Amino acid sequence: MHEKLERIKKQLHAESFKLTPQREATLRVLLENEEAHLSAEEIFMLVKQKAPDIGLATVYRTLDLLSELKIIEKLNFGDGVARYEFRSDDHPHHHHHLICLKCNRLFEIEDLLDSLEAKVEREHNFKIVDHRVSFLGYCADCLQEDSTLGD
């Protein structure tokens, strides 16, 4: 976590921004919960435990800045709640999401579209810079609880 925080600090400085205590607290929460796809409100509640004086607007501004600098990505899964995750250092779209329509849990799966993306670029003379794929359905736990979901 320390290495990633230092890398982000350098990136902020390169763009003439400082790693303020509020930004650092927000980043630490994101790093500690990397797989969780937290909403801004969830991030705020966790940051508040580390920095009790922080306001929700500060967290939103920090998330906007980190998104603008492409450090994190703002995701929308169609439920009206924006969630955040770190962008991959080596590939901007490194995984896809499975979204359970019953319990709203998110699962990550590996990127399955690299060859399709290359084919689309070639056949349509189109440079793809990103893609987003979400599969909607029901997780194993929800299917086990409610056998009618599989119909």
Question: What pLDDT score does 73 carry?
Answer: 85
Tell how far CA 111 is from the center of its chain. 15
Give the residue ranges of the annotated binding site for Zn(2+).
Answer: 100, 103, 139, 142
Phi, then psi, of 24 in degrees rounded to 5: -65, -40
User: What number does CATH give the domain 1-87?
Assistant: 1.10.10.10
Give the residue ranges of the annotated binding site.
Answer: 94, 100, 103, 131, 139, 142
Question: What pLDDT score does 122 carry?
Answer: 93
Give the residue ranges of the annotated binding site for Fe cation.
Answer: 94, 131
- pTM of structure: 0.67
Q: What CATH fold (topology level) applies to the domain 90-151? A: Dna Ligase; domain 1 (3.30.1490)
Q: Is there a contact between 111 and 123 (Cβ–Cβ < 8 Å)?
A: no
Question: What pLDDT score does 89 carry?
Answer: 54
Query: Where in the chain is CATH 1.10.10.10?
Result: 1-87
Question: What pLDDT score does 113 carry?
Answer: 80
3-state secondary structure of 133: coil
Tell me, what amino acid is at 80? G
In the block, which residue shows the tokens 């599989």? 150
Q: Is there a contact between 98 and 138 (Cβ–Cβ < 8 Å)?
A: no
Question: What pLDDT score does 94 carry?
Answer: 60
pLDDT, one tens digit for every residue, the chain (151 residues):
788 899 999 999 999 999 999 999 999 999 999 878 889 999 999 999 999 999 999 999 999 999 999 899 888 776 778 889 887 654 455 667 788 888 878 787 777 787 888 899 999 999 987 777 778 889 899 999 988 887 7
Q: Which two tokens stand for residue 35?
A: 């797989």
Q: Is there a contact between 71 and 86 (Cβ–Cβ < 8 Å)?
A: yes
